[in-house]
Amino acid sequence: MLGVKYERMDAEQLSTYIEIEEVDVNDLFLNKKNQREAFFKAIKKRPVLLTKIKKENEDHFLVPVMEKEPSYFIYFKKEQYKEEYAQKFLSYRLNQVEENAKGKTDKKDPSLVVQSSMDNKVLLNYNFVAKDEDEVNYFDNELHVPVSIKTNFKATLKIVDAIKMLNKMDLHITQLGKNKIETTITDLMDNKFKVYLSEYIVETKAGYYSLCANIGDIEEEFKKLSSVVFAEYGIEVCEFIIKRFAIPKDIQYKIEDQAFQIRQLKAENQASNEIAKKSLENYEAKLAIESKYPEVEHTLTEYEKDLALKRFLIKTGRSTEEEINHFIGTKITTEKTDVAMDKKKDVVPEIPERVNVFKMAYIVSLIICAIIDVSLFSSNIGVALILLGVFTLIFGVVGIIFSEKLKKQKTETVTAEEKSALLNGSKSQESGESADNK
């Protein structure tokens, strides 16, 4: 307890007496505002005063110190360490370094992200991107080429025993920060995984495809292996996930080509199997029907239709089997007749060419006029040529007019003859069919 003299002092005066240790720090009562302010002013100037705190007063003094200024943890004696204090100190130092890094121009995603778990433990989310020196070189038995593989992964680590971690780190507590912790994790995690992956490939003789296929087993096995190593540092491996196996681009192009060829071959085989299966089904169905009804001559599709109709009518009792067979036979005969008629309709009868009387008369008249013109006007060649041109023009106009009329008349005559020929062919076919029916 403080004397009346010190209780009446303000915080500034009281802190001076605390610094020179005229007032014992253990006699302070931090619930009082002036004594609390005096205490923090004094330890700010002389942090070593924290080591003077007695064990029974640690909770009364050290808990407020860690809540207000976790950096004072470095002045604690090891006998004063508690898990709660160590967790707050590590969280403070890691986040402090991270905040300082944000002020720089480096915009890359941090490889180590600090968070807090539900039970107030420090969580470290570690993202690792492999570099050239992290490659694992081996001969791939599946690709049949030498391969340099890089592994990008992420891990979630929880500091479950911060005091154990502080004691295990080969550093003074004042030097401990995010960079040092990240370096330690990198040395443990990356080097251990590189050795593990190399041994796994040698023992299993796995290639790139096998590594990708067994990625879940690799993650689980390495998580167990790394948990043993990190347990010595008071760290629990909560999660380990392989994001990808990176290989050189030329090898990647080769894998893509192989994958395309495999897909193409698979599609071709599947299409070929489907065609073969369908052909076999059709052949078996046709063979079964033809063996059951060898006398049937029409196609499979037509017969299936007739057979379905026959079964339906017999089942419903609408007609007898004899009537149905007669109906089917009549139907087939009618279809054959219709086909024959269609073929005959496609045949155009040949019509003999006729002599164009008008054309012959036209030519003869033109020659006669030319002879008369030359005979009458032989002395005057100019007049003869003029008259010959006039006659030629008149005959040309007359020829054009009568030529159109003759074409129209010829077309009508040919159409009438075609109709007559088709009608005669139809009558002869009907007479032939009636004779066959009799």
Residues 110 and 188 in one domain: yes
Count structural domains, the chain: 3
What is the reported pLDDT for 247? 82
Residue 279 in any domain: the answer is no
Q: What length does the chain have?
A: 438
Q: Report pLDDT for 107.
A: 42
> Alpha-carbon distance 161 to 143, whole Å?
46
Q: Based on the domain organization, do 223 and 132 belong to the same domain?
A: yes
Residue 227 lies in a domain: yes
Same domain, yes or no: 40 and 145: no
Phi, psi of 214 (to 5 degrees): -105, 25
Query: Could you list the pLDDT tens digit for every one of the 438 residues in the chain?
Result: 666 777 778 888 888 888 888 888 888 888 888 888 989 999 999 998 998 898 888 888 999 999 999 989 999 988 899 999 999 999 888 887 544 445 554 444 568 888 888 888 999 998 888 887 788 888 888 777 788 888 899 999 999 999 999 888 877 787 887 888 888 888 888 888 989 999 999 999 888 888 888 999 999 999 999 999 999 999 999 999 999 888 877 777 777 777 778 888 888 888 877 877 777 777 677 767 667 666 655 455 555 656 666 666 666 665 555 555 555 556 556 555 555 565 555 444 444 455 455 566 667 676 777 777 666 666 666 766 777 677 677 767 776 776 666 666 656 554 555 555 545 554 454 454 444 443
199 part of a folded domain: yes
Same domain, 17 and 148: no
Choosing from 80, 96, 114, the residue where a domain stops is 80
CA distance 114 to 123: 6
Tokens of 142: 């599946």
Nearest to 221 by CA among 258, 246, 196: 196
pLDDT of residue 348: 45
At 184, which CATH number?
3.30.479.30
Residue span of the structural domain in which 13 resides: 4-80
Same domain, 68 and 163: no
| 352 half-sphere exposure, CB direction, 13 A CA radius | 2
| 185 belongs to a structural domain | yes
Same domain? 159 vs 201: yes
Task: Let me know if residue 207 belongs to a domain.
Answer: yes
For residue 97, is it within any domain?
no
One domain for residues 67 and 118: no
14 and 125 in a single domain? The answer is: no
420 within domain boundaries? yes
Same domain, 152 and 238: yes
206 belongs to a structural domain: yes
DSSP, residue by residue, 252-288 = HHHHHHHHHHHHHHHHHHHHHHHHHHHHHHHHHHHHH
pLDDT, residue 234, reads 92
Claim to verify: residue 195 and residue 229 sit in the same structural domain? yes
Q: For residue 227, what are its two tokens? A: 């948990």
